[in-house]
Structure 1
Amino acid sequence: MAQQHREMTGTDTAGALLAAHLNAQATEFLRSLRLHRESTTDAQGAEESLEAARALRRAARRIGATLHTFRPLLDPEWASSLRPELAWLSGTLAQEHAYATRLDRLLESLHRLSGQPTVPVPAVGNRAAGRHGWAQPPVQSTETETSAPRGLTVGAAKAAALLERQLTLAKTRAHSTALQAFGSSRFHAVADNVAVLASEVPLTSTSEDLKPLAAQAESDLTEAVSALPLGQAGHPYNAGALVHGLASDTAPDAQDAPWLKVRSLLRLHRYAEEVLLGHATLEPRIADASHALNVHREAAAAAAAAAQAARTPRIAPATAYALGVLHADQRHEVEAARFAFQQAWLHEAVSTR
């Protein structure tokens, strides 16, 4: 659906702008839902179904964020009841893609750490290439093999197999959960509410200015960023993320939570700007900061998955070692993402000195 750049003018009331944005996002939601239902069961249809689900999830996120930021202009009971349902739907649809991305990220990191080529090579001799190009350890070494790059260690190969087994199972369960959600009465209630939103927005006020509400979203973001340890993050290889990631507590790292909060607030700020300006090109500083926080979240989740796999009972020491190295690598990626965010966020201030 084509999106047009727009700015608030004297002739545009706050209610009209807000209604137009919500109408557009609700229409995108319904269009994606129709494409998802019409997709076929072959390979092309499966890809179309996934893309439609991603588009539906994007629309649900934007509607939910708009209801949150501009709630003073909307019917409070209606908005407060719809927002959690949109968050549930978006979170449910995100899981399958998240597990697939996490698995790809971990396997690529294992390839890199073990010296495997980026593109898997075909099986040679007595080495059988696995699904992701992982070569099984040779039965016996020959003089030729000794002179060639050794490739994967036994521990890395078994770690890859364990991660693939665990995350593929999680992805399959997430897919089943998403299918069940699409067929549930809860989802149909959400779709019905969005269908109404496509034609009629329950506004309680049309005169209140949108800009102060968008400015409040930006202020919340700025306050959350000020609580981050940007000074430490500005030093490459400071090992802060790695040290905290080695804590024995199995709960989510408390030190990651402020960064995840900033990511959520940055998304709210971006979506608020879309209401005011339409889908204009993002400011490079904001786009780079958003990308860095996305990488941060993915790396932190991947590190947690590696740590969880390392807790599997009765795994070989070599496998546990490979998973430990992989965990440390992903925590270094978390650290690098924080450095990238710090550089992006402070870019404007630095460039004006």
Structure 2
Amino acid sequence: MAQRHLDPTDPTAEAVTGDALAAYLRAQATEFLRALRLHRETGGAPVGGAEETVDAARALRRSARRISGSLHTFRPLLDSDWSEEMRPELAWLSGTLGLEHAYEARLERLLLALHRLSGSTALPAQTVTAVAVAPVDAVAGTRAAGSARPGGSTGTARPAALAPESAGGPVAAGPARPTPVPERGNLTVGAAKAGALLERQLTLARTRAHSTALQALGSSRFHAVADKVAVLASEVPLTPTAPATGLRSLAAAAQERLTDAVAALPLITAGHPYNAEALVHGLSPDPSPHPQDGPWHQVRLLLRLHRYAREVLSAEAGASPLERRTFARPPVDVRLLAAGRALNRHRDASEAAAAAAQAARTPRIAPATAYALGVLHADQRHEVEAARFAFQQAWQQQTVGAP
């Protein structure tokens, strides 16, 4: 099938009206219902169906985010009462379903970072499945914030040196750990206990998130959302003038909001390999979110809305469901893709640093454990700075290459 893509930046391109928005929303609602059916079919399956259950939950979140984002960007073309009622419910659903995976991936990121920082060369012996692992490398000493990292992988094992402790003492989890490098002695002493502490805290949080997600999927609130999405799959509540109204001005407004938010970021600071102000706040006893991170998280959300608006502009009004799925994605913009990955990396490192700082506030922990958690926190804040620098590079390339 020949594909025709619409360039959102081309003023001479064919007009895209509210009919294209309706087609896009119907396609996403259909994907939501398909993922929901798959989730119900595999939710009670044994271990063999676990991967399908994870994929179904991810598809549910993906469709919910796209519907919610489109309702936000193109809200003047939709029934206002219906749109304002749907958006927070979809955001609640997406956030609830994503918590379990977030805690699991955060734990993997922190344990792998401890393994790397402690200098252990023992191979991992404890396998973990269906977990997205954040980027890691073998950095020794001071590293530049802009250093590149390899991509993450799934199914990565946890370090044997960081096996959790039982009531009777450490649990053997593989080959013996080699003699640590002398300058990392203090870190290695506390790394195992720090890893065990993080595993207890984040595993408990993940278990609670899993229970919360199961309760949410069985609640009357979720069934009300699913019913509304089912109606959306066949009937989109557009305003009377929407079918003849163009979408490009609303999509351009979303892009402008993103551009303004990026312009307000301290990109010059992000060009330095060491941001002392960021570390000073993170090491303080104040448990509040890092003040520097908020604007970057906001840019990440605005970039996502911009991407979804591009998808809507690429949708073909009046196409069949199969064709709508074919046209649902615009040509991949590698610069936007790189910027989005950098911001995802920024969020993951920021939340991991906060988890390490929270664990360090645990009462009556050993000094070596607190030291290891402090080093881990600083390492993740360096990852934050590296992600900011990577975003800066990607965004500057996008600006230079823009038509």
TM-score, normalization: structure 1? 0.89
Distance 1:147 1:216, change over 3 A: closer
Unaligned runs of 5+ in 2: 127-156, 171-175, 315-327
Matching residue within 291, 294, 303 for 2:341: 291
Counterpart residue identity of residue 16, structure 1: D
Aligned pair in 2 of structure 1 residues 350, 10: CA closer, same or farther (>3 Å)? closer
Q: CA deviation at 1:346?
A: 0.6
d(CA) in 2 for partners of 1:234 and 1:71? 37
Identity among equivalent pairs (%)? 66
Alpha carbons of structure 1 residues 104 and 146: separation in structure 2 relative to 1, 3 Å? closer
CA positional deviation for 1:248: 3.3
Structure 1 CA distance, aligned partners of 2:177 and 2:333? 52
1:154 Cα offset (Å): 2.7
- 1:127 maps to what in 2? none
Q: Which has the higher helix share?
A: 1
Match of 2:200 in 1: 165
- Would the aligned equivalents of 1:303 and 1:331 in 2 still touch at CA under 8 Å? yes
For residues 31 and 53 of structure 2, the distance between their equivalents in structure 1, rounded to whole angstroms, comes to 15
Which of 277-286 and 231-240 deviates more?
231-240
CA distance in 2, matches of 1:85, 1:292: 28
1:25 to 16, 23, 28: 28
| More moved, 112-121 vs 315-324 | 112-121
* Per-residue deviation, 1:350: 5.1
Q: Which residue of 1 aligns with 2:299?
A: 262
Find the counterpart in structure 2 of residue 35 from structure 1: 38
Quick check: 1:111–1:118 contact (8 Å CA) kept in 2? no
Separation of aligned partners in 1, 2:94 and 2:217: 12
1:213 maps to 2:250? yes
How do 1:1-353 residues align onto structure 2 when only pairs under 5 Å count?
Answer: 6-7=5-6, 14-39=17-42, 40-117=44-121, 119-120=123-124, 132-134=159-161, 148-149=179-180, 153-204=188-239, 205-277=242-314, 278-349=328-399
Whether the 8 Å contact between 2:61 and 2:97 is mirrored in structure 1 is yes
Taking the aligned partners of 2:348 and 2:220, their CA distance within structure 1 comes to 32
**CA offset at residue 41 of structure 1?**
2.4
Closer/same/farther in 2, CA of residues 131 and 62 from structure 1, 3 Å limit? closer
Q: Map Cα deviations across residues 258-299 of structure 1 (whole Å, 9 max, x no partner).
A: 001101101100110010123123311111111000010010
Contact 2:162 2:193 in 1 (8 A): no
SS across alignment from 1:329: helix
When residues 24 and 5 of structure 1 are mapped into structure 2, their CA distance, relative to the original with a 3 A threshold, is: farther
Shift of 1:316: 0.6
Q: Cα–Cα, structure 1 residues 317 and 198, in superposed 2: closer, same or farther, change >3 Å?
A: same
Judge conservation of contact 1:57–1:94 (CA < 8 Å) in 2.
Answer: yes
> 2: CA distance between counterparts of 1:224 and 1:5?
31
Residues 122, 177 of structure 2: 8 Å contact kept: no
SS of 1:119's partner is coil
Deviation at 1:79, TM superposition (A): 0.4
The total of aligned residue pairs comes to 338
User: Do 1:32 and 1:56's aligned partners in 2 also have CA atoms closer than 8 Å?
Assistant: yes
Corresponding residue SS for 1:276: helix
Structure 1's 351 and 61: CA in aligned 2 closer, same or farther, altered over 3 A?
Answer: closer
**Shift of residue 43 of structure 1?**
1.1
Q: Distance in 2 between matches of 1:118 and 1:337?
A: 28
Residue identity in the other structure for 2:27: A
Distance of 1:10 and 1:309 partners within structure 2: 54
Distance of aligned partners of 1:64 and 1:349 in 2 relative to their CA distance in 1, 3 Å threshold: closer
More deviation, 240-249/331-340: 240-249
Following the alignment from structure 1 to structure 2, what is the Cα–Cα distance between the partners of residues 350 and 19? 34
Greater Cα shift, 152-161 or 83-92: 152-161
| 1:126 corresponding residue in structure 2 | none
CA distances 1:303-325 after superposition (whole Å, capped 9, x unpaired):
00001111111111110110000
CA–CA distance in structure 2, aligned partners of residues 13 and 334 of structure 1: 39
Counterpart residue identity of residue 23, structure 1: R
Work out whether residues 6 and 13 of structure 2, in 8 Å CA contact, stay in contact via their aligned partners in 1. Answer: no
Deviation (angstroms), 1:45: 1.2
Q: Kindly report the root-mean-square deviation, in angstroms, between the aligned alpha carbons of the 2 structures.
A: 2.6
Given that 1:13 and 1:206 are in contact with CA atoms closer than 8 Å, whether structure 2 keeps it comes out as no
For residues 116-148 of structure 1, what are the alpha-carbon distances to aligned partners after superposition, in whole Å with 9 as ceiling and x for unaligned?
2373269xxxxxxx9741267999xxxxx9985
Unaligned runs of 5+ in 1: 123-129, 140-144
